[in-house]
Each structure stands twice: as structure tokens, then as C-alpha cells.
């Protein structure tokens, strides 16, 4: 979820989004996501949300050819669930 100026954007892993103009719709009753009139604002907020998610994600160990671990950031678009993240960490520790 991202709030910027008078706008609020919520986006989930299945691609369903919610976009509200909080000035004209403070109760968030009219979902503007996918509305052609607001596509430019929707794209701007999605970019900002993705940028924030990429900056704040945890570094995961990445396997290296020499058998040593190399730490780096996974650049993924979707937010993975806690179980999947823990499974990835277990796999990377075994490598």
C-alpha cells in the first residue's frame, strides 16, 4: 500500500489493485484502478511502490560457482510470502 499526496494505491500478488483519490473519495468507495482517465497516475504510483519494495527487501544469499556464498539483493517484482522466503533461505544455506 502506498499513499502519496491525495492518492492511495493498494496492490496484491495476484495483480488486483485499488486506486483512490482521497480528496474526492475519502471513504474509498470508488476504485479507480484500471480507469483510463487515471492510468498515468496509476503507473506513477505503481513505479513508486515497486521502487520502495525493491529498496526495502532483505538481502538473500546467492550461490556462487566457487562454493562460497555471495550476498546480493534479489530483484523481484512480486512480494513473496513468509513460507516461501524461509524455504529459499534454507535452500541457499545448503548450497
**Residues 59-89: pLDDT tens digits?**
666 666 665 554 444 434 344 445 555 555 5
Beta carbons within 8 Å of 13's beta carbon, 6+ residues apart: 78, 79
Q: Are residues 44 and 7 in the same domain?
A: yes
For residue range 17-57, list pLDDT tens digits in order: 999 999 999 999 999 999 999 999 999 999 999 888 888 87
Tell me, yes or no, whether 52 and 69 share the same domain: no
Between CA 73 and CA 50 the distance in angstroms is 14
CB atoms near residue 26 (< 10 Å): 10
- Same domain for 49 and 90, yes or no, is no
Q: CA quadruple 25, 30, 36, 41: dihedral positive or negative? A: positive
Query: Which structural domain, as residue segments, surrounds residue 66?
Result: 60-94
- What are residue 74's phi and psi, to 5 degrees? -80, 125
Domain tally for the chain?
2
Q: Is the pTM of this model over 0.85?
A: no
Amino acid at each position: 500500500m502506498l499513499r502519496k499526496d491525495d492518492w492511495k494505491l493498494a496492490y496484491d500478488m495476484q495483480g488486483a489493485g485499488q486506486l483512490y483519490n482521497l480528496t474526492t473519495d475519502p471513504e474509498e468507495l470508488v476504485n479507480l484502478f484500471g480507469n483510463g482517465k487515471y492510468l498515468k497516475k496509476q503507473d506513477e504510483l505503481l513505479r513508486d511502490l515497486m521502487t520502495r519494495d525493491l529498496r526495502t527487501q532483505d538481502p538473500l544469499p546467492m550461490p556462487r560457482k566457487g562454493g562460497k556464498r555471495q550476498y546480493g539483493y534479489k530483484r523481484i517484482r512480486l512480494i513473496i510470502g513468509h513460507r516461501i522466503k524461509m524455504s529459499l533461505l534454507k535452500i541457499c544455506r545448503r548450497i
